[in-house]
């Protein structure tokens, strides 16, 4: 047993009311059924949040949550039960419920993930307790003071610190046990500036599986500069044009478009069901030459990273698309087995109260050969989407619409002026085929991503280099 599993185990089983013996008995009962795969997943979490507005820290909250989930999978059918009270008797009842509905023809095999766990990729320090309440309040007030001092047009400042510490442990049908200790910290900042009666908004922030030391003065000052500058630039923004034109996407957070419009379509469950536009296209050209898309869950300290996924498999680097050719889907145990494909360490769940499914971790496009300046200089007339706000996508057909929070008109190879109201609509699969230039500046976002799927939210990372797209996108603005 590795140290990480042992330490998580010590936290999980810290009361006589909930014992490893009861877990073993429960798993033996499931093993006597026809289940192909099963696990008992136990979680103990601690969460804290502080929020500042109007120069006052107006709210603070702390919560703790403990529980377990029992799951048995037969073919594509899942029996699942959970309880918020980790006690032996509750586990016995949940197991009985799962056993009672576990039927079918067993094909009991275990998939093998190609990655391996070699130590933790993030700190085991607890960000909830590493800084006391008074110091967190003082940090938020400092951010407020520095933000207002940056420009006299700043009228409103909202800032928050959200921290979490989760301990997870699971036992699998094959007898393996795994544990993880998962910190999470995020600082968020939004500002409103005003000039001549016009108000505009800017936002910044970040974090990851880090401790409070991550938020150095340099990092905080960069967040402040980004948020204030974005709002001030938007004060002079003009209405965006509309129509079909080249679009240049900025690096980093604009990768959210890749995540939503393409990444979800590469998750195993959609392809097992045949509802993805990428179903059955392994080995086929699905994007322009040069386009390589990766999901990587073992990047140190990133928001979407995990030592192990929520089925106990080590996370890894999975090349989904290489040089435009579809290589793989992201898989959990059930879908990998059903599709006879390798595991990729992408089985994720929001908490013990939900069964896992294939989910992204940190998903990004790899570097190309062009500098960002070269890409912008190549456009005679188009849009540079520097940053994104919200968006929507239909997984079944890849259709999406995204709004920009920071965008510019490109004229004769130069950024002409900022624009507002630029909406990008298109089809994810088609957009991939129309990428004509890929930058050499690929980067992940600062650590703000949250992904929703089937009612479950999990932290993720997104990223990409600057890219030029010459089709498959329509800019919605002012005709």
pLDDT score at 396:
76
pLDDT at 479: 43
> Looking at residue 111, what is its pLDDT?
54
pLDDT per position as a tens digit, 285-330: 999 999 999 999 999 999 999 999 999 999 999 999 999 999 999 9
* Residue 385 and residue 345 share a domain: yes
pLDDT given for residue 478 in this prediction:
54
Looking at the structure, tell me whether residues 253 and 230 fall in a common domain: no
Mean pLDDT of 1-20: 91
**Average pLDDT, integer, range 475-479:** 67
Check whether residue 230 and residue 121 sit in a common domain: yes
pLDDT at 389 over 90: no
25 and 72 together in one domain: yes
| 3-class SS string, the chain | CCHHHHHHHHHHCCCCCCCHHHHHHHHHHHHCCCCCEEEEEEEEEEEEEEEEECCEEEEEEEEEEEEEEEEEEECCEEEEEEECCCCHHHHHHHHHHHHHCCCCCCCCCCCCECCCCCCCCCCCCCCCCCCCHHHHHHHHHHHHHHHHHHCCCEEEEEEEEEEEEEEEEEEECCCCEEEEEEEEEEEEEEEEEEECCEEEEEEEEEEECCCHHHCCHHHHHHHHHHHHHHHHHHHCCEECECECCCEEECCCCCHHHHHHHHHHHHEHHHHHCCCCCCCCCCCCECCCCCCCEEEECCCCCCCCCCCECCCCCECCEEEEEECCEECCCECCHHHHHHHCCCECCCEECCCCCCCCEECCCEEEECCCCECHHHHHHCCCEEEEEEEEEEEEECCCCCEEEEEEEEEEEEECCEEEEEEECCEEEEEHHHHHHCEEEEECCCEECCCCEEEEECCEEEEEEEEECCEEECCCEEEECEC
Residue 390 has pLDDT above 60, yes or no: yes
**pLDDT number for residue 393:** 81
pLDDT tens, position by position, 169-181: 999 999 999 999 9
Mean predicted confidence (pLDDT) in 250-271: 94
Predicted confidence at residue 82, as pLDDT, reads 98
**Mean pLDDT estimate for the chain:** 94
pLDDT at 107 (0 to 100):
64
Q: Of 187, 212, 235, at which residue does a domain stop?
A: 235
CATH code of 15's domain? 3.30.2290.10
Regarding whether 198 and 328 lie in a shared domain, the answer is no
pLDDT confidence of residue 394: 82
Looking at the structure, do residues 138 and 104 belong to the same domain, yes or no?
yes
Task: Give the mean pLDDT of 185-204.
Answer: 97
In a shared domain, residues 407 and 321: yes
118 shares a domain with 71: yes
d(CA 458, CA 280): 27
**pLDDT over 90 percentage in the chain:** 87
pLDDT in tens, 322-376: 999 999 999 999 999 999 999 999 999 999 999 999 999 999 999 999 999 999 9
Given this model, what pLDDT does residue 41 score? 98
pLDDT at residue 391 greater than cutoff 90: no
Check: CB of residue 99 under 8 Å from CB of residue 33: yes
pLDDT band at residue 249 using 50, 70 and 90 as cut-offs = very high
Of the candidates 187, 213, 235, which is a domain's last residue? 235
pTM of the model: 0.95
Residues 246-257, mean pLDDT to the nearest whole number: 95
pLDDT of residue 222: 97
pLDDT surpasses 70 at 108: no
Question: Domain limits at 262?
Answer: 239-476
Residue 113 has pLDDT above 60, yes or no: no
How far is the C-alpha of 29 from the C-alpha of 72, rounded, in Å? 11
pLDDT band at 2 (very low <50, low <70, confident <90, very high): confident
> Residues 435, 449: one domain?
yes
| 226 and 312 part of one domain | no
pLDDT bin (cut points 50, 70, 90) of residue 163 is very high
Domain count, the chain: 2
For residue 301, the model assigns a pLDDT of 97
Claim to verify: residue 96 and residue 202 sit in the same structural domain: yes
Residue after which a domain boundary falls, among 235, 269, 299? 235
231 and 243 within one domain: no
Q: Is the pLDDT of residue 1 over 80?
A: no
% pLDDT > 70, the chain: 96
């Amino acid at each position: 047993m590795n140290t990480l599993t042992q330490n998580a185990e010590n936290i999980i089983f810290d009361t006589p009311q909930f014992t490893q013996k009861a877990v073993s008995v429960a798993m033996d009962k499931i093993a006597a059924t026809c289940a192909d795969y099963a696990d008992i997943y136990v979680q103990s979490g601690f969460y804290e949040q502080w929020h500042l507005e109007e120069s006052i820290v107006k709210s603070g909250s702390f919560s703790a949550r403990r529980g377990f989930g029992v799951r048995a999978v037969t073919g594509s059918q899942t029996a699942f039960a959970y309880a918020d009270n980790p006690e032996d008797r509750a586990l016995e009842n949940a197991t009985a419920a799962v056993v009672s509905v576990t039927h079918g023809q067993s094909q009991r095999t275990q998939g093998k993930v190609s990655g391996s766990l070699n130590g933790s990729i993030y700190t085991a320090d607890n960000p909830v307790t590493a800084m006391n309440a008074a110091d967190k309040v003082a940090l938020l007030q400092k951010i407020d003071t520095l933000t207002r001092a940056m420009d006299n047009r700043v009228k409103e400042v909202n800032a928050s610190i959200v921290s979490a510490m989760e301990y997870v442990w699971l036992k699998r049908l094959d007898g393996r046990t795994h544990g993880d200790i998962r910190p999470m910290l995020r600082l968020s900042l939004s500002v409103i500036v005003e000039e001549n009666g016009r108000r505009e908004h800017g936002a910044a922030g970040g974090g990851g599986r880090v401790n409070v030391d991550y938020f150095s003065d340099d990092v905080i000052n960069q967040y402040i500069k980004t948020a204030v500058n974005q709002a001030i630039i938007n004060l002079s923004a003009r209405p965006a044009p509309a129509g079909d034109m080249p679009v240049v996407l900025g690096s980093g957070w604009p990768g959210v478009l890749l995540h939503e419009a393409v990444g979800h379509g590469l998750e195993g469950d959609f392809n097992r069901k045949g509802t993805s536009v990428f179903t059955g296209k392994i080995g086929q050209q699905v994007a322009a030459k040069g386009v390589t898309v990766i999901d990587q869950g073992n990047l140190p300290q990133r928001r979407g990273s995990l030592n192990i996924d929520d089925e106990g498999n080590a996370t890894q680097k999975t090349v989904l698309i290489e040089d435009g050719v579809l290589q793989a889907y992201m898989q959990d145990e059930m879908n990998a087995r059903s599709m006879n494909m390798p595991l990729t360490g992408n089985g994720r769940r929001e908490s013990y109260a939900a069964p896992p499914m294939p989910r992204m971790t940190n998903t990004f496009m790899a570097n190309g050969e062009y500098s960002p300046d070269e890409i912008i200089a190549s456009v005679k007339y188009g849009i540079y989407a520097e940053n994104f706000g919200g968006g929507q996508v239909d997984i079944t057909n890849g259709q999406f619409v995204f709004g920009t929070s920071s965008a510019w008109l490109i004229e004769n190879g130069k950024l002409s002026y900022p624009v507002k109201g630029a909406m990008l609509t298109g089809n994810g699969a088609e957009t991939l085929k129309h990428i004509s230039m890929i930058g050499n500046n690929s980067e992940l976002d600062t650590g703000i991503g949250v992904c929703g799927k089937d009612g479950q939210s999990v932290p993720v990372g997104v990223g990409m280099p600057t890219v030029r797209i010459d089709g498959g996108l329509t800019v919605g603005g002012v005709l």
